[in-house]
């Protein structure tokens, strides 16, 4: 995979200026490209200090042989929503962790992606871009190289990468739309639970009520920040905890997990700059909530 640029004017004097300003390559990746001689001018390997002129063709090879020896390959069914040379987007089931851990050493989604990459002959590190809780379902993105991962993370920081969720929450709302702007911090004496705290990190969630029922609501949540458990903490803070969320609310006879689904992602493709927008339906255990007549 290559990044490519044709010099159109005299605003850039060296290859390095193009890499930093046109490709937005980080200092860490730039060093890696230099060491591996993956920078080219007119198809010939060059130093970043090499001068350029109008009409020159600058390219960068992003392909590196990498290992994920810390992740055991495990065969599993992956629901692939989108894939190309740069990204892999999956519809994650609830009940599966994204990362391996002591309790999910060989049954996380990353284990399945490692097996899939090995199967197609792709020697890459496993790089999830967005993170989903164990019991949250829906769209999750894996980058196939370091540049793609960095680009998507930068888009998140400036809100060009948008993430939207469907949540089933308790109660009904007076205001059908709103913004929750409450900082979130780790709760004292807990490695898992989060809480609202003036000393926490900025956390902003926009919400829109899609349907209202007698005892719960179907809400679309759009994240402007990406804090751990953000939607779960924010909804509980305004008195509408997610149905089935035993950490911030209460259990439910209708669903065995928090009713939260990552249903939509949109971003600009890091390589070709196309606008990508993808959706996936809520899973069966959440559909029971949206089949009732609304009020």
Instruction: Return the active site residues.
Output: 133
Q: Which two tokens stand for residue 80?
A: 């692939």
Q: Which two tokens stand for residue 135?
A: 């019991």
Name beta bridge partners: 45: 40
d(CA 161, CA 177) in angstroms, rounded, equals 21
**Residue 92 neighbours by CB under 8 Å, 6+ apart:** 79, 98, 109, 132, 136, 137, 138, 139, 140, 262
**Residue 277 neighbours by CB under 8 Å, 6+ apart:** 264, 265, 266
Task: Please name the helix (run of DSSP H) or strand (run of DSSP E) that holds residue 263, with its range, or none.
Answer: strand 260-268
DSSP 187-229: PTT-SS-EEE-TTSB--EEEEEEEEE-SSEEEEEEEESS--TT
């Amino acid at each position: 995979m290559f990044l490519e640029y044709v010099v159109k004017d005299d605003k850039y004097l060296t290859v390095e200026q193009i890499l930093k300003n046109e490709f937005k390559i980080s200092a860490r990746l730039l060093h890696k490209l230099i060491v591996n001689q993956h920078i080219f001018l007119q198809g010939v390997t060059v130093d970043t200090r090499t001068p350029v002129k109008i009409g020159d063709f600058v390219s960068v090879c992003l392909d590196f042989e990498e290992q994920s020896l810390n992740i055991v390959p495990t065969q599993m069914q992956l629901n692939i929503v989108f894939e190309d040379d740069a990204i892999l987007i999956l519809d994650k089931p609830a009940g599966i962790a994204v990362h391996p851990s002591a309790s999910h050493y060989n049954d996380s989604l990353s284990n399945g992606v490692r097996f899939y990459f090995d199967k197609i002959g792709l020697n890459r590190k496993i790089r999830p871009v967005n993170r989903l809780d164990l019991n949250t379902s829906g769209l999750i993105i894996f980058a196939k190289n370091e540049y793609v991962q960095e680009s998507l993370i930068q888009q998140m920081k400036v809100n060009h990468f948008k993430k939207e969720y469907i949540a089933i929450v308790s109660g009904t709302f007076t205001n059908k739309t709103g913004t929750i702007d409450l900082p979130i911090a780790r709760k004292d004496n807990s490695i898992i639970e989060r809480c609202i705290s003036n000393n926490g990190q900025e956390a902003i969630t926009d919400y829109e009520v899609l349907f209202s029922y007698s005892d719960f609501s179907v809400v679309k949540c759009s994240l402007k920040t990406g804090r751990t458990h953000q939607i779960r903490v924010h909804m509980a803070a305004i008195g509408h905890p997610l149905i089935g969320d035993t950490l911030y609310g209460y259990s439910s006879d209708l669903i065995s997990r928090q009713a939260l689904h990552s249903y939509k992602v949109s971003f600009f493709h890091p390589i070709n700059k196309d606008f990508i927008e993808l959706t996936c339906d809520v899973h069966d255990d959440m559909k029971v909530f949206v089949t009732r007549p609304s009020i």
